[in-house]
């Protein structure tokens, strides 16, 4: 048994033993759980994939004369101005004004809120256009200027839903191609799309949220951010398999961090043909190895993590609940899955390579004493389901 304080003491003195969630698998195979649990202090997990539920709060400072912005666009992408005079909220999936969307099906969705966030973090100039009705104390009615992230007082990223514990695999059983957020799906189950870092993914390594909770410090695209709440659609009551790992979406985290500290390599606008724009964000979460049980959780491997295959041409949009089959991440990562006897090509949307890189960067930061682990200030719910929308 180790406490968070003891682990942090080792981190501060530069003596912590840190492995990634991939490295720990072989390590435990070699040393055994008992010995490894004594030696290892922290296991790092990571993910890099599209997470639509993202955005940022930006504060621009006051113009002269002052303006109470009521409508605003950043590089022609509308930002929500109903926050305060010069505070805006920019959503990652917001399309650029006049984007033809799916009028010219399938739309290309070349640029949107996620891309503006990427530009800001890369230090590029972004145009702000604002309108207002004017008040006695905020008389200005129109404004056009260019800014970079350095000109902002605050640029705070928020991901109301990130780090989906697991996710389903999309196929298309119909006879025409479809475009989804899990990619382009050919008819007759020719290919499938998935999105998870599997054995590296944070919540698959702590399936019952023992160490990850509200207040946990996380590596968010290079910045030190934290979990501010359970994520939206957090629904941990679900089917679970080996080591209690869910085979459905299950848990999610709400994350926040300072965009000024972020690295543009890990915040990227994405264009999903026929679907829309989104944002891919890199997240790393350290798991303190408190005891043997916690270590055991981190040894979960791709072949033991299962995902449900769902038909996105009918069952997904119609919410029928039908599952066509179950596959492991080992199979998905091999490039071909076997679905009820037929071979289906598999392609990911989340980048395993980038997740590996993040897990290593975070491990290095912990070894160097730059990143310590945290005791959550509140746990995440372990039992909770997601309700469908109430419609009349």
Nearer to other proteins, 58 or 120 (CB): 120
Please state the closest distance from residue 31 (CB atom) to other proteins, in A.
21
188 versus 345: smaller Cβ distance to other proteins: 345
Contact 216, 382 (CB under 8 A): no
> Nearest to residue 326, comparing CAs of 239, 252, 388?
239
Write down the least CB distance from residue 185 to other proteins, Å.
Answer: 10
- Note the residues at the interface with other proteins (CB under 8 A): 48-50, 110, 183-184, 191, 193, 268, 270-273, 278, 280, 333-335, 345-354, 356
Q: How far is the CB of 281 from other proteins (least distance, A)?
A: 11
Contact criterion met (CB below 8 Å) for 323 and 314: no
Q: How far apart are CA 215 and CA 375, in angstroms?
A: 8
CB of 162 to other proteins, least distance (A): 17
CB 215 to other proteins: min, Å: 30
**Phi and psi at residue 114, to the nearest 5°:** -60, -40
d(CA 254, CA 156): 13
Task: Report the nearest approach of other proteins to the CB of residue 38 (Å).
Answer: 28
Which residue's CB is nearer to other proteins, number 344 or number 362?
344
CA dihedral angle for residue 58, residue 59, residue 65, residue 67, rounded to 10 degrees: 50
CB of 301 to other proteins, least distance (A): 12
Q: Using the CB atoms, write b or e for 101-134: b if 16+ within 10 Å.
A: eeeeeebebebbbbbbbbbbbeeeebebbbbbee
Count Cβ atoms within 10 A of the Cβ of residue 320 and give its class: 0-12 exposed, 13-18 middle, 19 or more buried: exposed
Is 333 or 367 the residue whose CB approaches other proteins more closely?
Answer: 333
**Residue 36 or 182: which CB sits closer to other proteins?**
182
Comparison of 177 and 215: residue with beta carbon closer to other proteins? 177
**Nearer Cβ to other proteins, position 184 or 228?**
184
Q: How far apart are CA 218 and CA 48, in angstroms?
A: 13
Using DSSP, state whether 255 is helix, strand or coil: strand
> What is the smallest separation between the CB atom of 278 and other proteins, expressed in angstroms?
8
Q: Which residues pair with 131 in a beta bridge?
A: 71, 142
Contact 47, 199 (CB under 8 A): no
Residue 105 phi, psi (nearest 5): -70, 140
Confirm if 109 and 133 have CB atoms less than 8 A apart: no
CA dist 93 and 56 (Å) reads: 12
Residue 50 exposed, middle or buried by CB count within 10 Å (0-12, 13-18, 19+): buried
Closer Cβ to other proteins, 88 or 163, answer by number: 163
């Amino acid at each position: 048994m180790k406490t968070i304080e003891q682990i942090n003491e080792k981190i501060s003195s530069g003596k912590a033993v840190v492995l990634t969630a991939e490295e720990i698998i072989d390590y435990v195979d070699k040393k055994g759980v008992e010995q490894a649990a004594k030696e290892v202090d922290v296991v790092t997990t990571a993910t890099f994939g599209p997470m639509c539920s993202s955005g940022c709060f930006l504060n621009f400072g006051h113009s002269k004369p002052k303006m109470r912005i009521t409508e605003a666009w950043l590089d022609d992408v509308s930002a929500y101005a109903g926050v305060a005079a010069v505070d805006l909220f920019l959503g990652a999936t917001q399309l650029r004004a006049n984007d033809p969307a799916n009028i010219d099906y399938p739309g290309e969705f070349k640029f949107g809120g996620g891309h503006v966030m990427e530009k800001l973090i890369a230090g590029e100039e972004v145009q702000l256009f604002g309108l207002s009705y004017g008040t006695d104390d905020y008389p200005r009615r129109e404004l056009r200027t260019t800014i970079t992230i350095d000109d902002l007082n605050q640029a705070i990223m928020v991901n109301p839903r990130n780090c989906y514990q697991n996710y389903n695999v999309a196929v298309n059983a119909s006879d025409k191609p479809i475009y989804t957020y899990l990619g382009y799906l050919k008819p007759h189950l020719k290919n499938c799309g998935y999105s998870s870092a599997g054995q590296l993914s944070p919540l698959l390594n702590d399936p019952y949220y023992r160490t990850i909770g509200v207040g946990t410090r996380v590596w968010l695209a290079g910045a030190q951010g934290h979990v501010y709440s359970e994520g939206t659609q957090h629904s941990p009551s679900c089917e679970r398999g080996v080591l209690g790992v869910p085979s459905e979406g299950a848990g999610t985290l709400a994350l926040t961090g300072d965009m000024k500290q972020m690295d543009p390599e890990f915040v990227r606008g994405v264009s999903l043909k026929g679907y829309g724009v989104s944002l891919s964000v890199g997240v790393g979460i350290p798991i303190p190895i408190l005891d043997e049980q916690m270590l055991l959780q981190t040894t979960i491997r791709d072949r033991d993590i299962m995902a449900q295959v769902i038909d996105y041409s009918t069952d997904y949009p119609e919410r029928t609940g039908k599952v066509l089959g179950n596959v492991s991440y080992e199979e998905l990562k091999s490039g071909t899955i076997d679905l009820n006897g037929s071979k289906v090509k598999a392609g990911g949307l989340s980048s395993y390579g980038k997740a590996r890189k993040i897990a290593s960067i975070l491990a290095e930061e912990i070894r160097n004493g730059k990143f310590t682990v945290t005791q959550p200030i509140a746990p995440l719910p372990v039992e909770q389901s997601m309700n469908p929308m109430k419609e009349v």
